[in-house]
Structure 1
Amino acid sequence: MDNLSRVSIKAWAEADRPREKLLERGRRALSDAELLAILIGSGSRDESAVELCRRILYDQGNDLNELSRLSVAELCRYKGVGEAKAISIVAALELGRRRKEQKEEERPVLNSSKRVYDHIAHLYYDLPYEEFWVLYLSGGCKLIAKQLIGKGGNDFTPVDVKQVLRLALEYRATSIVLTHNHPSGSLKPSTMDVQLTKKLAEAGKLFDLSINDHLIFTDAGYYSFRDDGLL
């Protein structure tokens, strides 16, 4: 064991502490033992959390699959691992197992106004007031998330441009689709609709973010800025 592992984690240089290391360098920078050490939080008087986790892993041939087969009772045999710590390890490994077994849900590809309409129209059915939803897309127009940005009266919805862009950055979206409804039944975009679309399109350019479309919904159908040549 190196000398660093025998010193209390609190005494380490900040860059070497597992939690700080994860925040500073990302999860991939941590070893298996360091990730486990974050789960258990502390070791014993004789060894740090990282050293304890290294020892546990060593006994399992440094194989996470073998580690995942240990029971709470078997983990508790290690000095410094109580029942609560053992349960945390077992629970984390079980989540990893379930994630591996679970097939990733296919995200819809929203690369046309019709596909957007079919995907989100149900949100606008029979609404007596306006809502403004934004769809955040990755490369290939795959849906990452949809967010309700604002609610309004019969003919206006306040939209915070900064919030739309902030969420796009958080989701790491490459493009977005703007959508809102007209309870009046009119499919004609208002002057404010046009101005907002232009404002978001210009702001998006600063972040390499494309506005793919802006759809207006009514119970009778929809209007697409893109299809009408306004985007």
Structure 2
Amino acid sequence: MSTTFTIKNWSQDDQPREKLRDKGKDTLSDAELVAILIGSGNKDESAVALSQRILASTNNNLSELGKLSLSQLMNFKGIGEAKAITITAALELGRRRRGEEATQKKKIISSASVFEVMQPIIGELPHEEFWIIYLNNSNKILSKQQLSKGGITGTLVDVRLVLKTALEVGAVGLILVHNHPSGALKPSLSDQQLTKKLKLAAQSLDIKVLDHLIVTEKAYFSFADEQML
């Protein structure tokens, strides 16, 4: 008779839940943490072995694991819809937590700090989004808002809306941010034209465009750092 390798049937030392309880969360491997989420494996492998196999398919990269669709996860024997949803939800919470931790720093001191705030939000998206970060005179974030979703062109970004929001929140500085899903960091002609358009419009209200970042999953391009503003 076939049996499923459930965690409760393992020896005490091999049970991830008990290991987390008794030794702390930092002692668990990624596979053991995923095994806690799925609870059981299949008739041929334990939950940890199944988790190791799933992680191996993404080169043990949790960010890549978070990009797998429900159907892709369900291709693994032993992963049904409920388990796939649990894995997806857990990784999405982790992504949101990372974004909140970055935003809590509040003060922008460099292009790298902009990347820390925005990468969790747009760095891994399959489509382009254009955002504005509004800053006070201490370079602290007053607000950040998505302006467009899709292709980036001057016609898709309402300059009047950008400046109206800046006045409403009392911003004296703006940082433009958009992502390139392709991973390419080179700014397009449209990116450059839009930057100039917003910079010129903001100057009339004594509001400075401090930077424009192009964000990808692992890197960024800064107009300010490259002296293109």
TM-score interval, normalised by the smaller of the two chains: 0.5 to 0.7
In the alignment, residue 123 of structure 1 is paired with which amino acid?
Answer: I
Counterpart AA for 1:140: S
Shift of residue 175, structure 1, vs aligned partner: 0.4
Larger radius of gyration: 1
1:203 aligns with 2:201: yes
Gapped regions of structure 2 (runs ≥ 5)? 1-102
Question: 1:122 is matched by which residue type in structure 2?
Answer: P
Opposite residue 188 of structure 2, the aligned amino acid is S
Question: In the alignment, which of 112, 115, 120 is matched to residue 114 of structure 1?
Answer: 112
Q: How many residues align?
A: 126
Alignment of 1:96-175 (within 5 A): 108-153=106-151, 158-175=156-173
CA distance in 2, matches of 1:196, 1:168: 17
1:176 aligns with 2:174: yes
**Residue correspondence of structure 1 range 80-91 to structure 2 within 5 A:** none
Give RMSD over aligned pairs: 1.8
Q: Which secondary structure does the structure 2 equivalent of 1:139 belong to?
A: coil
- State whether residues 130 and 156 of structure 1, in contact with CA within 8 Å, keep that contact through their aligned partners in structure 2: no
Identity across the alignment (%): 44
Provide, for residues 99-120 of structure 1, a one-character-per-residue CA deviation record: whole Å limited to 9, x for no partner. Answer: xxxxxx9761112101111112
Deviation at 1:125, TM superposition (A): 3.0
After TM superposition, the score normalised by the length of structure 1 is 0.52
* Number of the residue aligned with 2:210: 212
Q: Which amino acid aligns with 1:198?
A: K
Measure, in 2, the Cα distance between the counterparts of 1:107 and 1:115. Answer: 9
How far, CA to CA, are the matches of 2:212 and 2:104 in structure 1?
24
Given that 2:128 and 2:178 are in contact with CA atoms closer than 8 Å, whether structure 1 keeps it comes out as yes
Whether the 8 Å contact between 1:107 and 1:143 is mirrored in structure 2 is no
* Cα distance change, pair 129–208 in 1 and its aligned pair in 2 (3 A): same
CA distance in 2, matches of 1:141, 1:193: 23
Aligned-residue offset at 1:185:
1.1
Contact 1:130 1:180 (C-alpha < 8 Å) held by counterparts: yes
CA distance in 2, matches of 1:107, 1:140: 13
* Whole-Å separation in 2 of the counterparts to 1:144 and 1:126: 24
